Amino acid sequence: MTFTPAAAYRAWSRSEKMLMSGSVLAVVAILTIVASLLIREYASATDSAVQSANNVVQLIDADVQRNAELYDTSLQGMIATWQDPEVKSLSSQLRQLIIFERSTAAPYKGDLVILDETGDIVADSLSVIPRQDNFSDRLVFKQHRENPSTTLRVGGPFKARWGFKDWCISFSRRLPSPDGRFTGIASASMRLTYFNQLFRGLNVGKNSTVNLINAEGILLARQAEQPDRYSVGEDFSQRPTFRRILQQNSGSFTAVSDLDGVTRLYTFSRVGELPLIVIVAQSRDVVYAVWKRNAILVGGATSLLCLGILWLSYLLGKQLKLRHIAERELAELASTDGLTGLANRRRLDQVFQQEWSRGMRSGKPLSLLMIDVDHFKAFNDRHGHHGGDVALRSVAQTLAAAIRRPGDLAARYGGEEFLVVLPETDLQGARVIAEKIRTAIEGLPPYAGDKHPVTVSIGIASRLPRASDRQAQLFTDADNALYRAKHSGRNRTEFNPPPEMA
């Protein structure tokens, strides 16, 4: 029935687990909230980057479409003038002036020509007398010849054969004819230097690029040109990233670049109805640089906070556990005899009251052993108080060792007297235990060579607790039995039969 510090420690460890569980739940809640905020900020950074890239794409789209419209206006003017019968009757110099009067004055404009059905130049913006050149080998010319549509086509890229001799694209229309017969095309070239110059004014960040490709996946222009790696005219149509772009008109996605292995956020859009696609490829490191810095700061601060909560909870649990153990130890000391380590009179009264009540409920007997050390005064006289204390401690240890059930209690009653409470034990069982105790004490080694061994006399009493009985009567019965044992020669056991056996 005693409560040891180890038991207190185990009992409190459950409370400590509850405390730590609460702290862990709080930490999980904090981490969940912070993680959700960081995820939301990540999505916000993505949306912001996509919006920024879309602004760049729309700016380029608007500029390219405006120039395409200027070129188309020039082509339509050239065609209308070329097919005017009155113009054909004019001199070559005047005819050239009129045909190309409406041609665009846009920067980076290349030459404007009218080609006949064989691909020869019949009207030239660079010369009154058309240059001797044939363009029937160009893909856009073949497309016009095979397709009767007179809509605007974009061709290239190709290297200019005259003038600047740099990379160009062409805007062209098929010459209309009443019978639908192919009679030639009107074509205007644009130098791709225009796009390079346009892109240079855009700042999309380190390791980020702005690209222009045509609908066949051919590179037309690229910001931060790298001639040694990627050149105009290179075919990217078979690369996974560009194939994904070519399958859609516009959109945004994140992927690892097929060109240099850098992870980028791709935002792209087709330029109006033209077969041109603008691609803004932003480096992920640039897009999420601010978010990453904030995530490190917030994550670090949150981690320190959570570690602090867990550490303080651990320290608090440890201190509360030590306090709990100390309180239990104090309670144990308050109910323990200081000399023998057995239960004291206060603890004895509590346990006896509990067991008497339990016996009334269960209908099982309660037995009591009253033990007195024989000739203890003479022993004290021979060996002094120290020797007497040693003898009492030996008797107490023997008592404690003789009772094994958790419900049994051995207590010091006063002086050299001890009591043993035996719940749910009848008279016969109590006699067996009493004789075991007497024999064990008799067998203790003599103290300091004393020829008189330490012995005890034991009085046994047993009752079936009833509400009508007085609890003190069991003590009286045990005391009477002890009296008979002492007057019958000591070192023996005597019992008082219960009322139902008397």
For the stretch 226-284, pLDDT in tens is: 545 557 888 888 888 888 888 888 899 988 887 778 888 999 999 888 889 999 988 88
Residue at token pair 């980020």: 208
* Same fold flag, 107-191 and 205-286: yes
The model's pLDDT over 257-272, given as tens digits with 9 standing for 90+, comes to 877 788 889 999 998 8
Q: How many angstroms separate the first and last alpha carbons of the chain?
A: 32
Return the CATH number of 205-286, one of 3.30.360.10, 3.30.450.20, 2.160.10.10, 3.40.50.300. Answer: 3.30.450.20
184 phi-psi bin (left φ>0, alpha ψ -120 to 50, beta other): left
3-state helix, strand, coil in the chain (%, to 5): 50, 20, 30
pLDDT band at 2 (very low <50, low <70, confident <90, very high): very low
Q: Domain residue spans in the chain?
A: 5-68+289-333, 107-191, 205-286, 335-496
The model's pLDDT over 344-379, given as tens digits with 9 standing for 90+, comes to 888 888 899 999 999 999 999 999 999 999 999 999
107-191 topology per CATH: Beta-Lactamase (3.30.450)
- Taking the whole predicted model, whether its pTM rises above 0.75 is answered as no
- What integer best gives the mean pLDDT of the chain? 86
Give the separation between CA 221 and CA 161, rounded to whole angstroms.
Answer: 19
Per-residue confidence (pLDDT) for residue 3, from 0 to 100: 44
Nearest Cα to Cα of residue 182 among 146, 134, 153: 146
The model's pLDDT over 399-432, given as tens digits with 9 standing for 90+, comes to 999 888 888 999 999 889 999 999 999 999 999 9
pLDDT band at 4 (very low <50, low <70, confident <90, very high): very low
* 144 pLDDT more than 80: yes
* 471 pLDDT more than 60: yes
Query: Which stretches of 150-228 are DSSP H helices?
Result: 193-200
Return the CATH number of 335-496, one of 3.30.70.270, 3.40.1780.10, 3.90.930.12, 3.30.70.260. Answer: 3.30.70.270
Least confident among 159-163, 388-392, 438-442:
159-163
Per-residue confidence (pLDDT) for residue 217, from 0 to 100: 87
